[in-house]
Amino acid sequence: MGRKLKFNIFRYNPQDPESEPHSDTFYLEETERMTLYIALTRIREEQDPSLTFDFCCRAGICGACAMVINGRPGLACKTLSKEQPDEITLMPLPVFKLVGDLSVDTGTWFRAMNEKVESWVHTDKKMDPTVHEERMDNALAEEIYELERCVECGCCVAACGTANMREDFVGAVALNRIARFIMDPRDERTDKEYFEIVGTDEGIFGCMGLLACEDVCPKDLPLQDQLGILRRQMGWSAIKHLFRMK
């Protein structure tokens, strides 16, 4: 027989004026290879069909099932119950707008962030469908791909002290995105243009460098390295700007 697990789950429906934030307790017998996604699905099917949480891929790919698991942001579908104690407390991610219970609206936040840091390749080149694609050095393509693996789950934002205190902070996910475009030879933005986007307190200079973001990233993105590189690059841009160097 498996362990008897106790789940304390945050409940609140912001659409319902009668609803008050509270915690509900559920018990489940642990089964082999049980993930928190499986546990939540069972609780919903067997005990409370009104329980709200997000999921899509069940394989750590879509980023939808992120929540705070015993105080630490993570993906429910990638977290095995056997890695947790007998009592498991689940809360929605902070920073994002609450939809209900464990479901938050990460989409609106990520869209605003992508627009704010202009998260696309900036080039004046016109697309010519009759010519071959431009080749990119394989090693560089791999490096860019490494940073592209972000699934926009929001765990790094939820774990970030600055993002929790300041609504305007773009977060490690945006800084990682900019680092990816700086590497990309197709992006024609200048140092000054990048500086204007992230060389601010809302960007890299608002980051306290304590690296909770990297600790919780379920895709193991090298956020620490990218934040360090970006801080140096933007610091250098600031000096050049100060002395009017090119």
38 C-beta neighbours (distance < 10 Å), count: 17
Q: Is 156 in the site for ligand SF4 (CB under 6 A)?
A: yes
Q: Is 91 in the site for ligand FES (CB under 6 A)?
A: no
CA separation for the pair 81, 27 (Å, rounded): 13
User: Cβ 218 to ligand FES, closest distance in Å?
Assistant: 8
Q: Which of 46, 56, 86, 111 binds ligand FES (CB under 6 A)?
A: 56
Tell me, residue by residue from 192 to 231, as one string, x for binding to ligand SF4 by CB under 6 A and - for no binding: ---------------xxxxxxx---x-x-x-----x----
Q: At what angle do helices 138-148 and 171-183 cross, to 10 degrees?
A: 170
* 41/89 with CB nearer ligand FES: 41
Q: Is 158 in the site for ligand FES (CB under 6 A)?
A: no
Q: Is 44 in the site for ligand FES (CB under 6 A)?
A: no
Q: Tell me the window of 7-15, 54-62, 91-99, 158-166 that interacts with ligand FES (CB under 6 A).
A: 54-62
CB 2 within 8 A of CB 32: yes
CA separation for the pair 111, 96 (Å, rounded): 12
Phi, psi angle pair for 92, to nearest 5°: -75, 160
Phi, psi angle pair for 203, to nearest 5°: -110, -130
Q: Which two tokens stand for residue 219?
A: 């895709």
User: What kind and span of H or E run contains 89?
Assistant: strand 87-91
* 75/178 with CB nearer ligand FES: 75
Residues that bind ligand SF4 (CB under 6 A): 63, 150-156, 159-162, 171-173, 176, 207-213, 217, 219, 221, 227
